A and B are shown apart, each in its own frame.
Chain A
Amino acid sequence: METAAPRDTAAARGTAATADTADATAADRAADAKAADQAADAATLQAAFNAAVAADERIEPRDWMPDAYRSTLVRQIAQHAHSEIIGMQPEANWITRAPSLRRKAILMAKVQDEAGHGLYLYSAAETLGASRDDLLDKLHSGRQKYSSIFNYPTLTWADVGAIGWLVDGAAITNQVPLCRCSYGPYARAMVRVCKEESFHQRQGYELLLALSRGTEAQHAMAQDAVDRWWWPSLMMFGPPDAESSHSEQSMTWKIKRHSNDELRQRFVDICVPQAESLGLTLPDPDLKWNEERGQHDFGAIDWSEFWSVLKGNGPCNEQRMTQRRRAHEEGAWVREAAAAHAARHSERERATGDSERAIENSERAAEDSEREEATA
């Protein structure tokens, strides 16, 4: 690719005033050739990338990829990671008040899983050249978003169940197709995340079922939670297809596999029979089976609420961000201490750290191969 450079220098050395034009022409020609080479290279790379995507091959961190593909993925994965981290708050809100020890253990484990999902996802984003610290900065300064659903408050214990059933249910509907996403590290993270999310969703359903079949007060609590979480859950699929700015490109790149509206419809069709078996109703008078379409019709979503929450004016936007920033700021001295200690004891620390990581990695590899065997 650098073949043009020596000729440039040679041309520059022959500096007779009369030769200016000729030199310039030579230089132009060289530059043109260089640009042409680069264009040819880029075209080859782009073609290889397109072919890999078309053949459903996975793009891996060291493969060439278009800049826009890279930045779209960084944005999407980071916002997914941020959602896991902010999403801990509405549920953690009930850990200290969980009404039985069994439920408390389930809830603690779930919130812990979410922190773990955040970690996987930040790692996946880092394979694209981003850094976790930088992404967290962007979250804290409001330059990157998280799922708008977590700006709603958890007002009763039943909300924990509604989040599990509806919010995790919507997340799974969104994320299962991402297990086949064209970017390998993201797709693999999604396989792990979806497995745990399905578990959480079942637990949420089971929590609501216990309430629904419990006392009158418990049943009312469950119904009220479903009434408050239903519409925000439908909004999790994003704006209608006609207004979704990133959709088309993401589908071409096979980052996305289905449109927002398709996934939303799928989710509604899954939820209706589940609500029936829960003995709870969904707060939509227009919801009914459409024989012709073989799908449910449902009422109009209040998109003004969606945009308002997205712009920061939901019930908890301020609170969620304040808590997140505060945890980060108040933890700064802890992170600084860890860094100072590690720098001072780098040799020893590295030796122990390495062995721990090696153990962890081998465990992970064992898990992965188990999973692959299971799916094979």
Chain B
Amino acid sequence: MTTHSASTSPSAATSAPASSTAAALPLGDDALVLSHRLGEWAGHAPVLEEEVALANIALDLLGQARVLLSLVGDEDELAYLREERAFRNVQLVEQPNGDFAHTIARQLYFSTYQHLMYGQLAASDSPLAPLAAKAVKEVAYHQDHAEQWTLRLGDGTAESHERMQRGLDALWRFTGELFEPVAGLDLDREALRERWTAMVTAVIGKATLTVPEGPQSGAWTAGAGREGLHTEPFGRMLAEMQHLHRSHPGASW
């Protein structure tokens, strides 16, 4: 988990990872990218307690990303020197923060998925099982945080209700990708989808909101992020994230 300037695997960015940890890259990218988005909230949160909570979640995710990426190669090389087309995260996590409700909707969809996914993974014989067992405790907290805020905003004021519904609607089309196959991740995807739908539906209902009606994925979004096809805001996010590292090739920090 330390920073190396001279990587032991310079081709990690392009070569296919070892099959036993093939899922580490997509899962690591999910965590890395969402962590970055949450980091953008620092100093902008609606209340001090949320400065702490959002940073806390971002840190947990960054920790997960570092462990996962280190299984594949050098964490910094993977984070800072791959281009957009080489990232394997789902498009959901790269979506801009929007307002607080939009961020919470993204958190609700994704943390519920992560909680169920890591739960299954922890119980499997995957080499990622020990990591999943640790991560599942963190994401349980993230899921609870998202759920509590969905309830407060959905069942709060007329304005917060409307904003929360808008956030859920806007991000719904990115949720289908969560249930697409991932190489190296041998999960019961049907069970994952069913439980995810049940949990998310229950929270949305309790929050007096409506489950969005549109499709959960379209021609572009079905599994696209996992193949390196991303949405436009992602390139700009990477430009900011990678700029300094790329400006000093070979430097250590």
Give the residue of B43, B63, B253 whose beta carbon is less than 8 angstroms from that of A210. Answer: B253
Bound CA–CA A105/B245 (angstroms): 15
**Known contacts A99-B80, A218-B248; A111/B43 CB under 8 A:** yes
Q: Which of A96, A215, A218, A342 has the most CB of B within 10 A?
A: A96
B241 and A96 contacting across the interface, CB-CB below 8 Å: yes
- With a CB–CB cut-off of 8 A, which chain A residues contact B159? 333, 336-337
**Known contacts A97-B244, A101-B79; A340/B45 CB under 8 A:** no
Whole-angstrom distance between the Cβ of B235 and the nearest chain A Cβ: 14
Query: What number of residue pairs across chains A and B have CB atoms under 8 A from each other?
Result: 151
Whole-angstrom distance between the Cβ of B145 and the nearest chain A Cβ: 12
- With a CB–CB cut-off of 8 A, which chain A residues contact B45? 327, 331
Q: Determine, out of A35-43, A87-95, A284-292, the stretch whose residues face the partner at the interface.
A: A87-95
A105 and B36 contacting across the interface, CB-CB below 8 Å: no
Give the residue of A96, A105, A207, A331 whose beta carbon is less than 8 angstroms from that of B240. Answer: A96
Q: Determine, out of A11-19, A55-63, A112-120, A364-372, the stretch whose residues face the partner at the interface.
A: A112-120
A115 and B156 contacting across the interface, CB-CB below 8 Å: no
Bound CA–CA A199/B76 (angstroms): 24
User: 23 A-B Cβ contacts within 8 A?
Assistant: A88-B43, A92-B42, A99-B248, A100-B253, A101-B3, A101-B76, A101-B79, A108-B39, A111-B43, A112-B42, A115-B48, A210-B252, A214-B253, A215-B251, A217-B248, A327-B43, A330-B44, A330-B46, A332-B46, A334-B50, A336-B159, A337-B159, A342-B152
- With a CB–CB cut-off of 8 A, which chain A residues contact B3? 100-103
- The answer to the question of B30 belonging to the interface, with a C-beta cut-off of 8 Å to chain A, is no
Q: Give the dominant DSSP class at A's interface.
A: helix
A100 and B245 contacting across the interface, CB-CB below 8 Å: yes
Closest Cβ neighbor of B101 among chain A residues = A334
Which A residues have a C-beta under 8 Å from some C-beta of B?
85, 88-89, 92, 95-105, 108-109, 111-112, 115-116, 118-119, 122, 157, 207, 210-211, 214-215, 217-218, 323, 326-328, 330-338, 340-342, 344-345
Whole-angstrom distance between the Cβ of A347 and the nearest chain B Cβ: 15
Restricting to B38-61, which residues have a CB under 8 Å from any CB of A?
39-40, 42-52, 55-56, 58-59
A100 and B76 contacting across the interface, CB-CB below 8 Å: yes
B59 and A341 contacting across the interface, CB-CB below 8 Å: no
Q: Apart from A115-B52, A116-B52, A336-B160, list 19 A-B contacts with CB within 8 A.
A: A89-B43, A92-B42, A96-B39, A99-B245, A100-B253, A101-B32, A105-B66, A109-B59, A111-B43, A119-B48, A119-B52, A207-B253, A211-B253, A327-B44, A333-B160, A334-B153, A334-B160, A337-B152, A340-B160
A104 and B39 contacting across the interface, CB-CB below 8 Å: yes
A338 and B156 contacting across the interface, CB-CB below 8 Å: yes
Give the residue of B55, B65, B251 whose beta carbon is less than 8 angstroms from that of A101. Answer: B65
- The answer to the question of B179 belonging to the interface, with a C-beta cut-off of 8 Å to chain A, is no
- With a CB–CB cut-off of 8 A, which chain A residues contact B169? none
Give the residue of A92, A99, A109 whose beta carbon is less than 8 angstroms from that of B244. Answer: A99
B157 and A340 contacting across the interface, CB-CB below 8 Å: yes
Which B residues have a C-beta under 8 Å from some C-beta of A?
1-3, 32, 36, 39-40, 42-52, 55-56, 58-59, 62-63, 65-66, 69, 75-76, 79-80, 99-100, 151-153, 155-157, 159-160, 163, 240-241, 243-245, 248, 250-253
- With a CB–CB cut-off of 8 A, which chain B residues contact A89? 43
Whole-angstrom distance between the Cβ of B76 and the nearest chain A Cβ: 5
3 closest Cβ pairs, A-B complex: A331-B46, A337-B156, A337-B160
Closest Cβ neighbor of A84 among chain B residues = B48
- With a CB–CB cut-off of 8 A, which chain B residues contact A328? 46
Bound CA–CA A108/B62 (angstroms): 10
A334 and B47 contacting across the interface, CB-CB below 8 Å: yes
- With a CB–CB cut-off of 8 A, which chain A residues contact B48? 85, 115, 118-119, 122
Bound CA–CA A89/B219 (angstroms): 41
Whole-angstrom distance between the Cβ of A270 and the nearest chain B Cβ: 25
Bound CA–CA A94/B162 (angstroms): 33
- With a CB–CB cut-off of 8 A, which chain A residues contact B157? 333, 336-337, 340
- With a CB–CB cut-off of 8 A, which chain B residues contact A337? 152-153, 156-157, 159-160
Closest Cβ neighbor of A327 among chain B residues = B44
Bound CA–CA A124/B90 (angstroms): 44
Bound CA–CA A345/B208 (angstroms): 13
A108 and B52 contacting across the interface, CB-CB below 8 Å: no
- With a CB–CB cut-off of 8 A, which chain B residues contact A335? 46-47
Give the residue of B52, B62, B155, B243 whose beta carbon is less than 8 angstroms from that of A341. Answer: B155
A101 and B46 contacting across the interface, CB-CB below 8 Å: no
- With a CB–CB cut-off of 8 A, which chain A residues contact B250? 215
- With a CB–CB cut-off of 8 A, which chain B residues contact A344? 155
- With a CB–CB cut-off of 8 A, which chain B residues contact A327? 43-46
B240 and A215 contacting across the interface, CB-CB below 8 Å: no
Bound CA–CA A211/B248 (angstroms): 11
Give the residue of A102, A215, A332 whose beta carbon is less than 8 angstroms from that of B1. Answer: A102
B151 and A96 contacting across the interface, CB-CB below 8 Å: no
B156 and A99 contacting across the interface, CB-CB below 8 Å: no
**Known contacts A88-B42, A104-B39; A214/B252 CB under 8 A:** yes
- With a CB–CB cut-off of 8 A, which chain A residues contact B160? 333-334, 336-337, 340
Bound CA–CA A157/B52 (angstroms): 23
Bound CA–CA A97/B58 (angstroms): 15
Closest Cβ neighbor of A324 among chain B residues = B43
Closest Cβ neighbor of A114 among chain B residues = B51
Whole-angstrom distance between the Cβ of A103 and the nearest chain B Cβ: 5
**Known contacts A115-B51, A118-B48, A334-B100; A101/B43 CB under 8 A:** no
- With a CB–CB cut-off of 8 A, which chain B residues contact A217? 248, 251
